[in-house]
Amino acid sequence: MIFDFLGVKEQHHYLSHFFRNFSRSNIDGLLKISLWHMEKFDYLLNRLKSYQDQHGSLLDHTMVIFGSGMGHSDNHTVKRIPMILAGGKGRIKTGRYIRYAENQELGRLHLSLMQQFGVSPSEYAGVQTPLPGLDDSSYEAYQEQPFQSWVKSDVNSVIVQGRLRLSEDLNEARIFYMDVDRHPSIRIDVSFRDFHHFNLAYHCGTPITLSGKAEDRDGRTTITKIKSLQSLHGKMPDSLNG
């Protein structure tokens, strides 16, 4: 789809693959489309809230789920995708952030929402156990384990352990960094092959150990080719609860 009514001339699908098709103008176009989607979500919620009767608003009697079909489009990552829930007064507790100890199958969320409305199928999307915690019931929350961060390097290679993150600068949105205690962040500027093969986007925000070829660019150690990547928590995108 082309969102030309927003002044965006490229296809949304093309823009979503921003690692391969990177430019600042493409990023700006993608963010403009994402903002439009969020504004439509906000409009829907406010319209539902505006319809009132003696039992409350239409939003009170509606559960709305908003999210993405995938994580990072260049990877087609379908793990660790955040979701927003709204409405459902008295059925779900909103106004908070939940992160589970283990990554959850999306089908568990849908199964829980159906049960809140009195629909109780034996399974949905291959899952049989609903997701706990939506109605303020107990659930096992995520707690990150302590880890050490360090860098070991020689002339042309580096091994680094730390937290992986995306660049905060939209002018280099395809660049990753490894944050290390008492050391400048290690820059990661690799080919699409390495980005895709090691699924960098999946590991964002988590501690990993990464080794690769490196060079000095403007006084900063920059990894240009990845040799290995290991999650400190053992999480991999194709594993159970990965």
242 pLDDT exceeds 70?
no
Instruction: Write down all domains in the chain, each with its CATH number in brackets.
Output: 4-89 (no CATH), 150-231 (2.40.50.140)
| Residues 6+ positions from 203 with CB-CB distance below 8 Å | 164, 229, 231, 235
Predicted local confidence at residue 26, as pLDDT: 97
- Whole-angstrom distance, CA of residue 166 vs CA of residue 175: 6
pLDDT tens-digit series, residues 168-227? 999 999 999 999 999 999 999 999 999 999 999 999 999 999 999 999 999 999 999 999
- CA–CA separation, 196 and 190 (whole Å): 10
| SS3 state of residue 167 | coil
Say how far apart CA 19 and CA 120 lie, in whole Å: 42
9-49 tens-digit pLDDT: 999 999 999 999 999 999 999 999 999 999 999 999 999 99
29: which 2 tokens?
């176009």
Write out pLDDT tens, residues 107-158. Answer: 999 999 999 888 989 899 999 999 999 998 999 999 989 999 999 998 899 9
